[in-house]
């Protein structure tokens, strides 16, 4: 087995476990937020029980009661929900290191965005995770944190600032992943530093026969609600990196901010619906409207870039072949010459005229309609060369 294959296996296995753990975490998060919203009070509940819900699943009925702070006694067996979150982060972070931080030239930096150097890029990316957590955590604990509406607005403004900053420091694709990692890390830190420790304090007080401080429980609930609203956009960011029209445009920061708004609206709709109140249907068309606005903003970007005019002088294939071999083939060849690549990325090769012609539509998507390729423009393709590719492709991508 070649060495590169071991590397690919490691990456694939990390990705697999990361996704599975994420499914378990998001699943339990959605389940508990919906359960919490659906709890109902009745006269028969024990003192200390805030509400109860009946559910049917897997051939049986469940009757779930929620003690708002702590019950008067604790059973020996108590199921905790924390390893779903921790393992999502541990395997996700390992993947981030293996794919992005060990290949910053390929995936993290783009000299046309900011010439920050590979080592600096990795240091900034690593530091942005704890720094953003410290800022978020301190505003949640400040006076602002007691007012959910003001806290959400302040949190969103800070988030947009972070998105703007990261999209102006890293390559389009690197920025998307880094924003996802940053928000995902805040979510896991909520579990690790607030939700679980507070729960442990509540249990400790209970075992001592003391009354637990109710703010501990409220803090935990606030943070798990934040996590719930952040889930949809984070998943979007994690799966977005193969769509260059999202991340390679000049206003990718606006698109990402818009995705957080869409995620908020859709989650809010479901949270209200699960609480048994009248469904607020208007939230869904509003989310669709924001989605439509994002779609329109990316198509105008695509049209504006290097589109070929009908009257342009035809471009000869020899010229196309020269461009592809100088700007693309270092990486996209059966034996890539680019350091760090042991095989052609995504199996895309431009070694023969037939391969170039067959892949013309992909060349158009990656190098003309968006500037995703050449990756971070490491091979310094010019706008004129992109335009020539566009003319050749739009006139039928003909071979001589």
Interacting residues with ligand HEC (CB under 6 A): 106, 242, 327-328, 330-332, 338, 345-346, 348, 362-363, 366-367, 373-375, 378-379, 381
Tell me how far, at minimum, the Cβ of 341 lies from ligand HEC, in Å: 7
Would the CA dihedral through 40, 44, 46, 48 be positive or negative? positive
CB of residue 352 vs ligand HEC: minimum separation in angstroms?
14
Neighbour tally for 251: CB within 10 Å: 15
- Residue located via tokens 């602002």: 144
CA distance 193 to 136: 12
24 C-beta neighbours (distance < 10 Å), count: 16
Minimum CB–partner distance for residue 365 and ligand HEC (Å): 7
- Can you tell me which residue has the tokens 């984070």? 234
Q: Dihedral (C-alpha) 103, 106, 107, 110: value to the nearest 10 degrees? A: 130
Q: How far is the CB of 386 from ligand HEC (least distance, A)?
A: 8
Task: Between 342 and 362, name the residue whose CB sits nearer to ligand HEC.
Answer: 362
Shortest Å distance, C-beta 358 to ligand HEC: 11
Judged by CB, which is closer to ligand HEC: 33, or 237?
237
Of 7, 159, 28, nearest in space to 87 by CA: 28
Tokens 């989605």 belong to 291
Q: What is the smallest separation between the CB atom of 238 and ligand HEC, expressed in angstroms?
A: 13
Contact 108, 173 (CB under 8 A): no
Give the chain's length: 400
Which residue lies nearer to ligand HEC by CB, 172 or 233? 172
CB of 71 to ligand HEC, least distance (A): 50
- Closer to ligand HEC at the Cβ: 263 or 374? 374
User: 108 or 328, CB closer to ligand HEC?
Assistant: 328
Q: Kindly state the smallest distance separating residue 346's Cβ from ligand HEC, in Å.
A: 4
Burial 365-375 (b: 16+ CB within 10 A, else e): bbbbbbbbbbb
Joined tokens for residue 256: 């990402």
CB burial of residue 314 (10 Å; 0-12, 13-18, 19+): exposed
Listed residue (173, 172, 182) closest to 113, CA to CA: 172
- Cβ atoms 62, 54 nearer than 8 A: yes
Considering beta carbons, is residue 9 or 282 the nearer one to ligand HEC? 9
Q: Report how far apart, in Å, the C-alpha atoms of 22 and of each of 59, 227, 323 are.
A: 26, 13, 42
Least Cβ distance, residue 12 to ligand HEC (angstroms): 13
Closest distance to ligand HEC from the beta carbon of 217 (Å)? 44
- Give 205 or 302: the residue with its C-beta nearer to ligand HEC: 302
- CA 11 to CA 312: how far, in whole Å? 45
Contact (CB, 8 A) for 211 and 205: yes
Nearer to ligand HEC, 102 or 379 (CB): 379
How far from each other are the two terminal CA atoms of the chain, in whole angstroms?
Answer: 40
If the CB atoms of residues 57 and 346 are measured against ligand HEC, the closer one turns out to be: 346
With respect to ligand HEC, which residue has the nearer C-beta, 22 or 174? 174
What is the signed CA dihedral for 338, 388, 386, 362, rounded to 10 degrees?
Answer: -70
Taking CB atoms, the residue at the shortest distance from ligand HEC is: 328
Residues 89 and 188: beta-carbon distance below 8 Å: yes
């Amino acid at each position: 087995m070649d060495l590169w294959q071991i590397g690919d296996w490691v990456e694939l296995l990390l990705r697999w476990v990361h996704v599975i753990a994420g499914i378990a975490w998001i699943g339990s998060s959605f389940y508990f937020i919906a359960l919490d919203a659906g709890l109902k009070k009745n006269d028969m509940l024990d003192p200390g029980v805030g509400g109860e819900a009946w559910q049917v699943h897997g051939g049986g009925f469940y009757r779930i009661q929620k003690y708002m702070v702590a019950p008067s006694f604790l059973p020996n067996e108590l199921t905790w929900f924390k390893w779903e979150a921790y393992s999502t982060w541990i395997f996700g972070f390992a993947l981030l290191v293996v794919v992005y931080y060990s290949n910053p030239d390929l995936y993290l930096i783009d000299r046309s965005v900011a010439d920050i150097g590979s080592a600096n890029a990795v240091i900034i990316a690593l530091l942005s995770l704890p720094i953003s957590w410290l800022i978020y955590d301190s505003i949640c604990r400040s006076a602002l944190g007691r007012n959910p509406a003001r806290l959400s607005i302040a949190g969103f403004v800070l988030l947009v600032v972070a998105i703007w900053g990261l999209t102006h420091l890293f390559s389009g694709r690197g920025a998307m992943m880094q924003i996802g990692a940053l928000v995902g890390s805040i979510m896991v830190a909520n579990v690790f530093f607030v939700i679980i420790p507070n729960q442990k304090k509540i249990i400790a007080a209970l075992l001592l026969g003391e009354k637990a401080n109710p703010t501990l429980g409220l803090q935990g609930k606030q943070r798990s609600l934040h996590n719930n609203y952040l889930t949809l956009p984070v998943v979007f960011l994690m799966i977005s990196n193969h769509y260059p029209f999202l991340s390679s445009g000049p206003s990718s920061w606006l698109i990402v901010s818009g995705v957080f708004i869409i995620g908020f609206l859709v989650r809010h709709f479901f949270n209200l619906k699960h609480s048994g109140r009248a469904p607020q249907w208007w939230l869904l068309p509003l989310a669709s409207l924001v989605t439509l606005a994002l779609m329109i903003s990316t198509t105008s970007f695509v049209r504006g870039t290097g589109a070929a005019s009908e009257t342009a002088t035809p471009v000869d294939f020899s010229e196309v072949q020269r461009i592809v071999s100088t700007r693309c083939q270092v990486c996209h060849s059966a034996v890539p010459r680019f350091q760090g690549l042991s095989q052609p990325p995504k199996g895309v090769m431009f070694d023969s005229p037939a391969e170039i012609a067959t892949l013309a539509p992909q060349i158009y998507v990656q190098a003309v309609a968006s500037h995703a390729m050449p990756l971070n423009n490491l091979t310094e393709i010019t706008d004129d060369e992109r335009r020539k590719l566009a003319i050749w492709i739009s006139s039928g991508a003909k071979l001589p």
